[in-house]
Amino acid sequence: MVSHMRYFDNAATTQVLPEVADAIFPYFCQHYGNPSSIHDLGFDAADAIRKARTSVAKGLNCYPSEITFTSGGTESDNLALLGVVGKRGRDRIVTTAIEHSAILETCAEACRRGHRASIVPVDRDGFVDIPALDDMMGDDVSVLSVMSANNVIGTEQDLREMSRIAHKHGALFHTDAVQGFTKMDIDVRRDGIDMLSISGHKVHAPKGTGALFVRSGIEISPIIYGGGQERGLRSSTENVPGIVGLGKATEIAMASMEEDIRRMRVLRDRIIDSVLEIDGAALNGPRDRRLCNNTHFRFEGVKGTDLVLKLNKAGFATSTASACSAGDMEPSHVLSAIGLNAEQALSSLRVTISQLNTGEDVDALLEALPVAIAACRNQ
């Protein structure tokens, strides 16, 4: 194992910020009460949750009462879809071919429960086919779910256009913003978003915590039953340390978001420009309207997994596609959906940065990458 790992796998998870860790720690050993308890330790915990809820709500421009804390993006996606499908006499979900498995597998489960799902195609850059989407909608659609930014190729969708189409057909609009939250400009009021999912560990907060925004007035049913926490929508004793961490991480991100996005874009573009000079390299996904921290390439004559392992040995953490399917030897469904064949898809490398990456990190990667690619081609 190398003594120092330069981390370029931030779409998979992020380092908990030191300030976030400091904010969390007292809620393990000092303010450890159950927030439902009516004593001072319980009151302290409940107050911490209220403050975190306000911070997350401010980051999305919604009311604190519209935020439900969950265990992460997957649970939030499950709750958003399964909690509304079938209501108002509408039993169909429409989503895209490049969604995270948390959406696609939830659609599959909805179908097993007697509902229906439709999958809209995307173009070669991962953008939703708008005419196809409009044709696919109808008065039987309960919810349209389109991710804010793709976790594999970084495509940023037009959320206002997606919500306009959903609302034109009387459907709700949900977006999985797990990748986009804090890294793109999202305002649930301005953008017409009805439900939105986020995950703590993608924004420098701990794993195992997330949130779902649900616009006031939407009829939604729980998928977890028990003590009635989170206003009856998400039973289970709250993960107070995780929630505190998500609130703190959101505060920090919002305070410097514009500058962080600008700086990450500069580093992202340096990576893209340099890598595309390598023989046989191509960019997967769009050059414009791309998430500020995402790059994704394919390399002729290279196996992506081999390249990740060689870079790991050289001290760089990267990935091929989604960490949720990183162990699979099958091509990413996202890369297949944008028209790549199996060989192209399996020759891919994802490099994702965060606010913690430096120019020095990028320089080191760009020096090591051609060497690793050549080694893969020669083996």
Task: Give the model's pLDDT for residue 326.
Answer: 47
**Composition of the chain by helix, strand, coil, percent to 5:** 40, 15, 40
Rounded CA-CA distance 141/156 in Å is: 23
User: Phi and psi dihedrals of 117, rounded to 5?
Assistant: -145, 145
For residue 249, what are the CA distances in angstroms to 22, 161, 361?
Answer: 11, 29, 23
Q: Is 145 left (phi over 0), alpha (psi -120 to 50) or beta?
A: beta
As beta bridge partners, residue 156 has 149
Task: Give the model's pLDDT for residue 378.
Answer: 87
Q: List, by residue number, the catalytic residues.
A: 324
Q: Does an H or E element contain 173, and which?
A: strand 172-176
- Counting every residue, how long is the chain? 379
| Residue pointed to by tokens 């500058």 | 259
Rounded CA-CA distance 290/288 in Å is: 5
pLDDT tens readout for residues 186-214: 999 999 999 999 999 999 999 999 999 99
Task: Give the model's pLDDT for residue 379.
Answer: 77
Rounded CA-CA distance 218/192 in Å is: 13
Q: What is the CA radius of gyration of the chain?
A: 21
Whether the CB-CB separation of 238 and 228 falls below 8 Å is answered with: no
- Report residues of the chain scoring pLDDT below 50: 1-2, 325-326
Task: Give the model's pLDDT for residue 324.
Answer: 52
Q: Does an H or E element contain 271, and which?
A: helix 257-275
Sequence-distant (6+) residues with CB within 8 A of 168 are 137
Task: Give the model's pLDDT for residue 3.
Answer: 53
